[in-house]
Structure 1
Amino acid sequence: MRFAIKTRPEHTTWAEVRDVWMAADEIDLFESAWNWDHFYPLTGDLSGPNLEGWTMLAALAQATRRIRVGCQVTGMIYRHPAVLANMAATVDIISEGRLELGLGAGWNQHECDAYGIELPPLRERFDRFDEGVQAVIALLGQTTTTLEGKYIRLTEARCEPKPVQRPHPPITIGGRGPKRTLRAVALWAQQWNSITESPEQWRGLKETLLAHCADVGRDPGEIVCSVNVRVEPGHDVNEVVDQVVAYRDAGVDLAIMNLPHHAKPDILLPLAEALAPLS
C-alpha cells in the first residue's frame, strides 16, 4: 500500500502547514501531500481563517524537493478552466514535475452564496465539469485548443509554458457520485479519491467504477484508488493502522492520512513507522 498526508488549511497558520509538509518531504513513505480548495472553514467556526489552496500549493512546491503536491480537490466552479490550466502548468513547473491535479465539480453552497459565485443545479454542474476537464486536458497537452462546448468556448487558445509532466500532470477526480463522478473518473482520471464511511461502502463504489471502465473501454488498473483516513487529535496509532488495513484489504491503493488541526512535524515519524509494514 502507498501513503500520503493531507493538511486542512482551516483554523491553521501558514507556518504550521509549511513545517509539516517539509517534514513529510523527508519521510520517503509519504509520496504526496494535499490541501483543499475552499475559502471558508468546513468545520468549527465557519467565520474562522482558511488559507487559499492554490497559492499555498505554489509556495509549498518551492518549500519541498521530493514529495508530490496536490489540491484535493479543485472546485471547477471557482475558476475558468483556462485559468486553472495555466495555474496547473505553472505549479508543475515550480515543483519540477510534482503536481497532482485534483479536480471536482464543486459543492459548497455557503461559499458560493457569500461570494456571489453561481452554483448550478447538479446536472448542469456536472455538465460544466465534464467540459472543464476536457478543456484543461486539451490546454495542457495541445499547442492550441478550440472548443465549442455548451458552457466553455475556446478559440485557438494557448497555455504556455507547458507543464513538465506530459501530456499533463496526473488527474485526480474526487467524489463518490455513482453516475457522473465515477464515469468521469473512468474517462479521464489517473487517480480516484473518495471519503467513505466504511470499506464496505468503498467496495460498492469500486464495483460501480469498474462497470464504468468496462463501458468506456478503460483499463481500471490505470487508475489509482485513494481514500482519506482521518487522524484525530490524540489518536491511537493502532486504531489508525486498523482502518488502513481494512481499506487495504478492500483493495485501496493509496491511504491519505488526514492530519488534525495544528499538527506538528513530530506527528509524522511515529505514524510512518506504524504504517511502514503495510507498504
Structure 2
Amino acid sequence: MKLTNIVFCLTLLAGAATSCIREDLDDCLSTNTLLLSYKGDGTTEIFPDKICRVEMFVFDAENRCVNSSILPEEQVKDRTATLPPLAAGDYRIVCLGNTHHTKVDGIATGDFGRMLFAAGDYFDEKQVAGNDSLYYATTSYTVLPYSGDEEANQTKTIEFASSHYDLSVEVAGVPAPGTRAGSLPVLEICGVSPCTDFENRACGEATDYLLETEYEAGKALLTARTNIMRHKNHENVNIRLSAAPNGEPLAEVNLARFLADNPIIDCSKHEVLIPIRIEFKSGEITVSVPEWYIEQVKPEF
C-alpha cells in the first residue's frame, strides 16, 4: 500500500512539473519544427554541403524578437530545427547560416527592423578582410493551440538563400618593387556594403576591405579569396591594387564595368564566384576572367 501511494504521488508531481494536465490544456504547448533546405541554383538538396552552423531568431506578430539561439550541431546535421516552446499565435522565423565570425547587432532592441548582421571585426571597428559564406532563410509560422493530439504539431520547410558573393582575385607578374620581402602590394575591395538586414538586403555605409593575400614567388602570382555581402550597387565598388596600404594605386578595377564586360558571371544566382585576373606584362595591365573559370563554366571552350 505504501509503495502504491508513493507511485501515485510521484505521478502527480510529474504532471505538475510539466504544467500540462489533461483536464486543463491552457498550459500545454504544441511541438513545432523546421526542415532546413538549400538547393542553390538547382533542384538537388545541398544544405549539408554548404551550411554547417545556424542561428535562429523568432519574432512575434509585433516583430519583436522573443527568442534567439544557435541550433545544436545534431539538428543542423539532421536538417531539422526544433522551435522553442511558443504560445499559440503568428510568428516570423529568421535563420542565418555559417555565422562563424559574424555578429548580429540590435538584438538588445528586440526590433526586427533594427537588426543587422556583419563581420565581427566591423562591429568591433577593426579592419575587415571579408565575410563568412553567409546564408539566410525566413518563413512565417503559425503555432496552433495544443489540442491533445498530434494535429497541433507541425513541421514546415524553410528555404535558405545566399547572402554573399564569393570573390577571387589573382595578380600575375607582380611589379618588381612589390616583390621585396615585407613590401608586397596590397589588395583591397573598396565601397562594399558591410552589413545585411533581416530582409537579406545588403546595407551600411560603404566600407573598404583589406584582403588577406598569398604570394607564389615562382609564379610571381599574388592571390586572394574572400566573401562580400550581396550589394546591388556595383558602380561604386572597386578592386584596388596598391604598392602599400593607403599607397599609390598600381591598378584599379571597377566591379560594374568588369561584370558588364564579362556576362559569363551571373550575379543573380545564389552561388556566385566573381573571379578577377590582373596581369602586368610588357608594361601593360590587362584585366580578365581567369582561364580556369571559363573552362569550369563552359568546358567545351
Q: Whose relative contact order is higher, 1 or 2, with alpha carbons under 8 Å and at least 6 apart?
A: 1
Query: TM over 0.5, yes or no?
Result: no
Q: Which has the higher helix share?
A: 1
Q: Which has the higher strand share?
A: 2
Larger Rg: 2
